[in-house]
Amino acid sequence: MKRISIINGTVISGGRSTAANVLLEGGKIAYVGPEVPEVGAEDVVIDARGRLVSAGFIDLHTHGAGGADFMDGTVEAYEAALVKHAEHGTTLLYPTTLSSTTESLYEALQLYKEAKKANLGGAAMGGLHLEGPYFAYEMKGAQDPRFLRNPSPEEYVGLLNEADGDIARWSLAPELDGAPEMGAELRKRGVLMAMGHTNATFDECEVAYKAGFTHLTHFYSCMSTITRRNAYRYAGVIEWGYYTDGATVEIIGDGIHVPQSLLKLMFKVKGADNIALITDSMRGAGMPDGVYLLGGVKDGQEVVVEDGVAKLLDRSAFAGSVATMDRVVRTVHQLTELPLEEIVKSATEVPARIMGVSENKGSVEVGKDADVVIFDENVNICTTIVEGRIVYDNR
């Protein structure tokens, strides 16, 4: 692995930007500062020419990209998605499943293990994100209703045992019968517990939070707000998410799932330190408009990509996004009118902290993994470096 010197860059880290040079050696960040590192004959020198240098983007929630889905059943599909995401600045992601059969979930676990062993290009993987199948039917969104069900210990314990630590997070509706027992099992195994596709009340969220549910999956999308029951008003998941300081949220930052007014509200109330930007991308990310499968080739459903987003064929709901992380950072920066340094934090440091990997990921600091992305002021990606390897270069 060759040493890489990044010179004449503006480093964004810790919510600040500073003119600095960066040395990457042995897969780690070896130096950040004003001095120009000594260059050996075999070293790679990247002149950033004043461009921005930040930690690589971390996508906590993606189903695929580049025409491939993580549930397609092939290692080749994994690589296609990883490479496409790296082209757009992502250095670490969490492959995400959809609600499906038990058999398909076991196949997804096995495929992830195979992909880990393969020497794939593109972004690195931090573990699986199981999205469902334990969701509220009223908040199903684009999740296939055929596969929605309540948590069953026989199913989720079997999957956790089979995964052997490969499941990093699990999104489910905490109000379902059996969810508290499942939450206790996830907490014991160190899996991030997230509320998603949920019709819970404020009080039910409080109970779930005390049980260990600390994160909210794609905030505003497929979650309850104020409702009336027997004439009385009840606050929902959205109100609880704003109220609870210790809760973190993720948002699909394409400017479509969450419009400008709500993005501004979120960053004003929750703050960048509690918001992770995600793509929730499906296979149409980085691809032209058209009809695509949402989910794997075996159990997926057809959706249409148009107007910068994926939709169910009847246009009744969005069906994941076609965003990439560069588009997300650019869009949220433009719509919130907040400093780019603050938005970059929500794409790097915050997701690293949420997933418990901030010791090695999420900021440009000596000793951390050499996951670096170089981009211009419009967040057009020039170079993506994963653990000291240049995986995309468009200088």
Residue 193 has pLDDT above 90, yes or no: yes
Tokens of 301: 């459903």
Torsion of CA 48, 54, 56, 59, to 10 degrees: -130
pLDDT value for 41: 83
**What is the C-alpha separation between 310 and 62, in angstroms, rounded?**
13
Q: State which H helix or E strand residue 81 sits in.
A: helix 75-87
- In the chain, ranges of CATH 3.20.20.140 domains: 57-361
Give the β-pairing of 57-62 and 90-95: parallel
Q: Tell me the residue length of the chain.
A: 395
Closest to 66 measured CA to CA, from 313, 330, 375, 392: 392
- Average pLDDT along the chain: 96
Residue reference for tokens 């000793």: 367
Tell me the whole-structure pTM to 2 decimals.
Answer: 0.96
For residue 229, name the pLDDT band (cuts at 50, 70, 90): confident
**What is the C-alpha separation between 258 and 332, in angstroms, rounded?**
10
Q: Return the CATH class of domain 57-361.
A: alpha beta
Question: What is the rounded radius of gyration, in angstroms, for the C-alpha atoms of the chain?
Answer: 20
pLDDT value for 72: 93
pLDDT digits (tens, 9 = 90+) for 322-331: 999 999 999 9
pLDDT digits (tens, 9 = 90+) for 357-380: 999 999 999 999 999 999 999 999
For residue 337, name the pLDDT band (cuts at 50, 70, 90): very high
- Residue 89 near residue 389 (C-beta atoms within 8 A): no
Sheet holding 290-294, edge to edge: 290-294, 301-306, 309-312
Residue 20 backbone dihedrals phi, psi, to 5 degrees: -165, 165
- In the chain, ranges of CATH 2.30.40.10 domains: 4-53+376-393
Give the β-pairing of 44-47 and 68-69: unpaired
Task: Name 142's Cβ contacts closer than 8 Å, sequence gap at least 6.
Answer: 294, 301, 303, 310, 312, 317, 318, 319, 320
Note the CATH number of domain 4-53+376-393: 2.30.40.10
pLDDT value for 298: 78
**What is the C-alpha separation between 48 and 92, in angstroms, rounded?**
22
Residue reference for tokens 């992770």: 276
**If you write DSSP's letter for every residue of 31-57 in order, what string do you get?**
EEESSPPP--TT-EEEE-TT-EEEEPE
For residue 68, name the pLDDT band (cuts at 50, 70, 90): very high
**What is the C-alpha separation between 216 and 266, in angstroms, rounded?**
13
Region at 72 (left for phi over 0; alpha for psi -120 to 50; beta for the rest): alpha
DSSP state of 191: P
Give strand pairing partners of 8.
none
Give the β-pairing of 16-25 and 4-13: antiparallel
| Helices first, then strands: H and E counts in the chain | 10, 24
- Mapping DSSP to helix (H, G, I), strand (E, B) and coil, where does residue 76 land? helix
Cis amide linkage into residue 133, ω under 30° from 0: yes
